[in-house]
């Protein structure tokens, strides 16, 4: 689908056009190498021994029998790992290590499935037999897997330290000093009272003491003066990331450098992460990841278990491959935290929200307070623009696998909590679903979140109203609405949902060379996690310089190949951040080309322009080919060929640029362009479902997502992201969730066929996407990120369509499966347990 551009947007040659990405053939022919595909001479294999208990202390490990086996080379325990390291900010401030964080191996497992040790042997069969011969003496400790249960008085805590995360208040900065980095979060015990629990009736979330709170506006007055107040409770599922490629890693050492083949979302950024985990200098760490089979937020800088083969390799003196199985991936591969949420929302009779009072409990797992609880409130405040809001939340610890951001972390849950309320309000107030979304939608420099430094923040732009209008027409909303809802044993319904998330960061570096052969050699530090931004962003460079794409070569995926400092590929920031970086680097090249032309051909640099693979005099006449200019750059040296570098670029880029100097015209720059506001992107999702009232089964007949992501860089890739991430959201609606046996604190769903990620046959029969295409005004190319906003839209368009078909009070949590629907229809009221975790 061709990109839609708005009037006034320049006509691009490359931007907005589809093209064959440089990784396509390798992927389709199977030549693409993922971490698991690498082999090295003498390579050993490692396998993990996992904790059988949800919470325990290892008293003794007897591995003597295992180590005596021929073929077993070493074991690795937590005692072999470097202690958690402090980090350093760019300002030289020390961020103290979180001593409660995940380390990769442990003697104090805090979830069933946590790796205790790794065995290294000549093959995996030997590893398995060795593991079976290891005897571990555990002291079992009490466990907690349900975040609400652990808040009850007299119940167990997930960790010895307690059951909730708290943020100690940072010391006030000295006069003239920058604010200190926040102190490490701490774990404490917090129990609510029986009265707190007794107060909540019939599926409502009890609301005891919260650990965190923010407000803006007079939310109490907002609720008091509303024409309609809805008080609703909803629970979102824990969903594993379930990347198709597990986080297998292979590592070896050469001359003091460690080479790690891993599965990661970000190439450049994985280097400092591994360096920190291994207590090494970043210059001694090389990351190789040219292809990654999905991350979704769980591999932003690979994952800490990648140090296990690295350390085993050091111990044994041989390369070590640690293949991670699907079940192991369930344990160490992270998940989205579930949120129990209760919202009181006030509406005017026209459907405009007057105030929101939000209370959320986030199941944070055993490590790391998750930002989801806070982000849920923050994104809600943007998406629905409540004039006044109170947010209260807790991050509760449980003995379940660790959580981490998953595509639209927190934002997704906020949307899921709010959308059923909008949907219900539309029915109660007699207002069309699209209209009630539109009246509450953000536009322009819309406000987000509570005040920071005395003032509320705002976004760079929002064109979600345009997206709603576009979708309303394309989906033939009014026509579908006019259809009957029931026929035979079937019921049909339509739903719409809006969703938003952060969509761009700033401040990263671009780097490429124009070589004397006239071709552009672009260095991409972006991860190739399937989004295609690894090459899409660099189309900007070719566009600005007027160079055909077949004259561009991209180097990516191997930090030994001189890549620039790049943003992490998480939080949908890459397209925005790296089109800006590509732009400034291209402008740096243009600047140097103009200077070289002026030097050689006379006149001033501003007399020249760049295009058609030449730098030419604007008035006509003198020109040089890029190839010639590149040759001249080498002869001139200095700033032209990278021997002199600008100030302000990251030291990672400096090292890469130094290595590339003297090869041609070297373009390097840091994005220091201004930006007014925080970049966010938006998606409106539309769906029609059909439910069989006798079985509870439902089909998604049609789905349309319309995205506001600013300028469209690569339509096909955008479509892949919009529909792919819509499917991620749809998975949360139609079936994906964790299931636990609470008595033992053990997972029952550990593999695909129990966790039920959606398959291609579960995708809606008809699926389409479109984009508004209006450039974001705060970034030169106008492009924002996309990965995350579709998730909430996908999930809630479906669930809103379901409640349109079935009425309210059929389901009170996601996902919604046939049993929930049928049981509710049979009883005339919701039958599922609203608040029990992991069912």
* Using rule CB under 8 A, residue 68 touches other proteins: no
Give the C-alpha separation, 575 to 356, whole Å: 33
CA distances from 458 to 390, 423, 674, 794 (A): 18, 26, 15, 25
* Using rule CB under 8 A, residue 758 touches other proteins: yes
Paired tokens of 404: 């981490």
User: Site for other proteins (CB under 8 A): which residue of 138, 192, 197, 214?
Assistant: 138
Give the C-alpha separation, 285 to 251, whole Å: 11
* Using rule CB under 8 A, residue 828 touches other proteins: no
Paired tokens of 196: 């707190």
By beta-carbon proximity to other proteins, the closer residue of 109 and 719 is: 109
Q: Residue 69 class from Cβ within 10 Å (0-12 exposed, 13-18 middle, 19+ buried)? A: middle
Could you tell me if 786 and 793 are in contact, meaning their C-beta atoms sit under 8 angstroms apart? no
Task: Give, as one character, the DSSP assignment of residue 413.
Answer: H
28: phi then psi, degrees, rounded to nearest 5: -70, -30
User: Site for other proteins (CB under 8 A): which residue of 762, 780, 808, 834?
Assistant: 762
Exposure on the CB side of residue 536, measured as CA atoms within 13 A:
28
Could you tell me if 420 and 800 are in contact, meaning their C-beta atoms sit under 8 angstroms apart? yes
389, 379, 383: which is closest to 410 by C-alpha? 379
By beta-carbon proximity to other proteins, the closer residue of 124 and 196 is: 124
CA distances from 469 to 155, 263, 288, 839 (A): 51, 40, 45, 38
* Using rule CB under 8 A, residue 741 touches other proteins: yes
Paired tokens of 579: 């089109």
Binding part of the chain for other proteins, among 184-192, 430-438, 543-551, 742-750 by CB under 8 A, reads 742-750
Give the C-alpha separation, 238 to 807, whole Å: 26
- Find the helix or strand (DSSP H, E) in which 376 lies: helix 372-384
3-state secondary structure 419-444: HHHHHHHHHHHCCCHHHHHHHCCCCC
What minimum distance in Å lies between the beta carbon of 808 and other proteins? 19
* Using rule CB under 8 A, residue 487 touches other proteins: yes
* Using rule CB under 8 A, residue 607 touches other proteins: no
* Using rule CB under 8 A, residue 201 touches other proteins: no
**Interaction residues for other proteins, span 7-66 (CB under 8 A):** 47, 49-50, 52-53
Binding part of the chain for other proteins, among 69-77, 571-579, 620-628, 819-827 by CB under 8 A, reads 819-827
Give the C-alpha separation, 339 to 326, whole Å: 25
What minimum distance in Å lies between the beta carbon of 192 and other proteins? 21
How far from each other are the two terminal CA atoms of the chain, in whole angstroms? 41
Binding part of the chain for other proteins, among 201-209, 266-274, 484-492, 653-661 by CB under 8 A, reads 484-492
By beta-carbon proximity to other proteins, the closer residue of 33 and 326 is: 326
Binding part of the chain for other proteins, among 281-289, 375-383, 743-751, 805-813 by CB under 8 A, reads 743-751
By beta-carbon proximity to other proteins, the closer residue of 427 and 485 is: 485
User: Site for other proteins (CB under 8 A): which residue of 88, 128, 221, 659?
Assistant: 128
* Using rule CB under 8 A, residue 131 touches other proteins: yes
Q: Which residues contact 83 (CB under 8 A, 6 or more apart)?
A: 97
x/- mask, other proteins, residues 451-470, rule CB under 8 A, reads: --------------------
What minimum distance in Å lies between the beta carbon of 761 and other proteins? 4
3-state SS, residue 784? coil
Contacts 24+ apart (CB under 8 A), 803-808: 803/420, 803/423, 803/424, 803/493, 803/495, 804/423, 804/433, 804/493, 804/494, 804/495, 805/485, 805/491, 805/492, 805/493, 805/689, 805/690, 805/691, 805/698, 806/491, 806/493, 806/691, 808/424, 808/427
Binding part of the chain for other proteins, among 153-161, 232-240, 376-384, 815-823 by CB under 8 A, reads 815-823
x/- mask, other proteins, residues 248-267, rule CB under 8 A, reads: --------------------
x/- mask, other proteins, residues 488-507, rule CB under 8 A, reads: xxx-x---------------
x/- mask, other proteins, residues 695-734, rule CB under 8 A, reads: xxx------------------------------------x
What minimum distance in Å lies between the beta carbon of 735 and other proteins? 5
x/- mask, other proteins, residues 303-342, rule CB under 8 A, reads: ----------------------xxxx--------------
Which residues in this chain contact other proteins in the complex, by CB under 8 A? 47, 49-50, 52-53, 124-125, 127-128, 131-136, 138, 140, 325-328, 483-484, 487-490, 492, 690, 694-697, 734-735, 739-744, 746, 748-750, 752-754, 756, 758-759, 761-762, 817-820, 822-823, 825-826, 831, 839
């Amino acid at each position: 689908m061709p990109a839609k551009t708005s009037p006034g947007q320049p006509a691009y040659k490359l931007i907005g056009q589809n093209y064959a990405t440089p990784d396509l053939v390798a992927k389709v022919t199977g030549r693409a190498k993922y971490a698991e595909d690498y082999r090295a001479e003498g390579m050993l294999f490692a396998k993990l021994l996992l904790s059988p208990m949800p919470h325990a202390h290892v008293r003794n490990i007897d591995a003597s029998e295992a180590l005596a086996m021929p073929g077993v080379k070493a074991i690795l325990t937590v005692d072999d790992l470097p202690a958690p390291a402090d980090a350093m900010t760019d300002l030289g401030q020390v961020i103290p290590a979180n001593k409660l964080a995940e380390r990769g191996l442990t003697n104090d497992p805090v979830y069933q499935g946590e790796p205790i040790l790794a065995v290294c042997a000549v093959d995996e069969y030997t590893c398995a037999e060795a593991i079976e011969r290891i005897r571990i003496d555990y002291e079992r400790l009490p466990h907690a897997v349900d975040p609400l249960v652990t808040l009850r008085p007299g119940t167990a805590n997930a960790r010895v330290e307690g059951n909730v995360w708290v943020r100690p208040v940072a010391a006030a900065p000295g006069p003239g000093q920058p604010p200190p980095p926040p102190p490490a979060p701490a774990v404490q015990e917090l129990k609510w009272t029986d009265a707190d629990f007794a107060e909540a009736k019939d599926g409502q979330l009890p609301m005891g003491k919260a650990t965190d709170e923010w407000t803006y506006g007079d939310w109490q007055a907002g609720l008091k003066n509303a024409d309609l107040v809805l008080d609703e409770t909803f629970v979102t599922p824990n969903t594993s990331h379930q990347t198709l490629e597990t986080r297998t890693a292979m590592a070896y050492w050469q001359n003091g450098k460690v080479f790690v083949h891993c599965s990661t979302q970000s190439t450049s950024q994985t280097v400092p992460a591994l360096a920190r985990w291994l207590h090494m200098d970043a210059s001694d760490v090389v990351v190789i990841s040219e292809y990654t089979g999905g991350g979704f937020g769980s591999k932003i800088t690979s994952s800490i278990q990648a140090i296990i083969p690295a350390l085993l390799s050091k111990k044994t003196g041989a390369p070590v491959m640690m293949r991670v199985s699907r079940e192991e991936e369930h344990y160490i591969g992270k998940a989205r935290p579930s949120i129990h949420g209760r919202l009181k929302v006030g509406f005017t009779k026209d459907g405009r929200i007057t105030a929101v009072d939000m209370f959320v409990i986030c199941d944070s797992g055993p490590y790391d307070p998750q930002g989801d609880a806070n982000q849920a409130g923050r994104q809600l405040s943007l998406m629905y623009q409540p004039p006044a809001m109170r947010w209260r939340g807790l991050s509760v610890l449980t003995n379940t696998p660790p959580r981490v951001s998953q595509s639209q972390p927190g934002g997704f849950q906020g949307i899921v909590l709010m959308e059923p309320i909008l949907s219900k309000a539309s029915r109660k107030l007699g207002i069309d679903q699209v209209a009630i979304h539109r009246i509450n939608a953000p536009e322009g420099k819309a406000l987000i979140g509570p005040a920071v430094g005395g003032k509320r923040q705002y976004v760079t732009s929002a064109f979600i109203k345009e997206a709603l209008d576009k979708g309303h027409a394309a989906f033939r909303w009014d026509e579908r609405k006019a259809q009957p809802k029931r026929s035979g044993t079937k019921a049909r319904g339509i739903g719409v949902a809006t969703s938003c998330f952060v969509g761009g960061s700033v401040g990263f570096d671009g780097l490429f060379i124009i070589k004397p052969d006239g071709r552009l050699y672009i260095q991409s530090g972006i991860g190739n996690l399937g989004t295609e931004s690894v090459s899409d962003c660099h189309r900007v460079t070719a566009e600005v310089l007027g160079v055909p794409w077949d004259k561009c070569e991209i180097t990516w995926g191997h930090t030994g190949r001189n890549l620039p400092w790049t943003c992490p590929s998480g939080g949908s920031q890459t397209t925005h951040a790296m089109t800006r970086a590509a732009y400034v680097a291209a402008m740096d090249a243009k600047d140097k080309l103009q200077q070289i032309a002026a030097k050689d051909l006379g006149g001033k640099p501003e007399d020249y322009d760049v295009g058609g693979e030449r730098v030419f005099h604007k008035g006509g006449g003198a020109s040089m080919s890029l190839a010639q200019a590149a040759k001249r750059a080498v002869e001139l040296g200095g700033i032209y060929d990278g021997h002199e570098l600008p100030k302000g670029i990251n030291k990672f880029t400096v090292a890469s640029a130094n290595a590339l100097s003297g090869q041609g015209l070297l373009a390097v720059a840091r994005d220091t362009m201004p930006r007014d506001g925080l970049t966010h992107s938006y998606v409106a999702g539309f769906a029609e479902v059909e439910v069989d009232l006798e079985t509870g089964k439902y089909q998604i007949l049609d789905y349309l997502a319309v995205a506001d992501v600013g300028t469209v860089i690569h339509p096909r890739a955008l479509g892949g992201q919009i529909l792919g991430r819509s499917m991620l959201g749809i998975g949360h609606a139609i079936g994906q969730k964790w299931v636990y046996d609470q008595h033992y604190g053990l997972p029952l769903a550990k593999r695909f066929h129990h966790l039920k990620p959606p398959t291609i046959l579960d995708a809606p029969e008809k699926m389409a996407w479109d984009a508004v295409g209006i450039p974001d005004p705060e970034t030169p190319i106008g492009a924002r990120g996309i990965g995350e906003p579709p998730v909430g839209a996908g999930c809630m368009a479906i669930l809103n369509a379901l409640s349109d078909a079935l009425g309210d009070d059929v389901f009170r949590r996601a996902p919604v499966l046939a049993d929930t629907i049928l049981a509710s229809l049979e009883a005339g009221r919701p039958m599922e347990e609203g608040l029990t975790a992991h069912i």
